[in-house]
Amino acid sequence: MDLAGRIIVITGAARGLGRGFAEACAKAGAQHIIIGDIRDDLGEEAAAALRAGGTSAEFCHVDLGDADSIAAFAQTIERRHGHIDGLVNNGAIATGIGGKTFEEIDVETWDLVMRVNVRGLWLMVKAFAPLLRRSTLGGRIVNLASDTALWGAPRLLHYVGSKGAVIAMTRSLARELGPDQIAINAIAPGLVLVEATEYVPQERKETYINGRAIQRAQHPDDTVGIIIFLLSKEAGFVTGQTIPVNGGFVFN
């Protein structure tokens, strides 16, 4: 599998799992990688690192909670490139929101999570669909769900609910985008050891390790291979699917 000739947009790629996706796309030969993130400093740094490694890359600011920001992001990419071949909707709010029961979550946090994780993903697909339709290689979208929505993780209802919505939206969008030969799928990672999950209590981390068929911690490298496949030409007839990538903690 390779991504030769493909222009790929990845949100939330300034650090963590998203940056791992960007680096994997570079290794797979992507023609150009666009990092979209709210963190300008880290985004510029990530793009510079890709360029230093010989990959054409750029950073563009985007706030997934702001509809105007998403529209401006897409307009910038359209003006510079005219089309894209792949979109990875990785950006989301996940850090520092867990640990509260459904009765303890405040309305403001609930609305913020839904605005970024659900509405933001919808608006990204809406904004970039015209650019994906112009791909001569076949448009691809990969949405980041979570296995928390498959096993029903407690004390995390707003996040779990948002990722359940991502799974449902992926299925519906597959039917709407199919006539345009755009394949859209979701992956549902388990607890990946990145900066965004450092706050997770050790007890929850051990629950994952002990409950997996492959009993060890999950790292970014465990998750990137499926992204490359779903962005590649080989995945052109795979759409509407949610693929757990969690070492067998849950089976779909």
What residues act catalytically? 159
Q: How far apart are alpha carbons 106 and 135 in whole angstroms?
A: 42
- β-pair type (140-144, 86-89): parallel
3-state secondary structure at position 38: coil
Q: How far apart are alpha carbons 230 and 241 in whole angstroms?
A: 10
- As given in the structure block, the two tokens for residue 216 are 């060890």
Q: How far apart are alpha carbons 116 and 150 in whole angstroms?
A: 20
End-to-end Cα separation, the chain, in angstroms = 24
Q: In terms of C-beta density within 10 A (0-12 exposed, 13-18 middle, 19 or more buried), how is residue 240 classed?
A: middle
CB 90 within 8 A of CB 144: yes
Half-sphere CA count of 56, side-chain side, radius 13 A = 11
Nearest to 242 by CA among 145, 161, 156: 145
DSSP state of 192: B
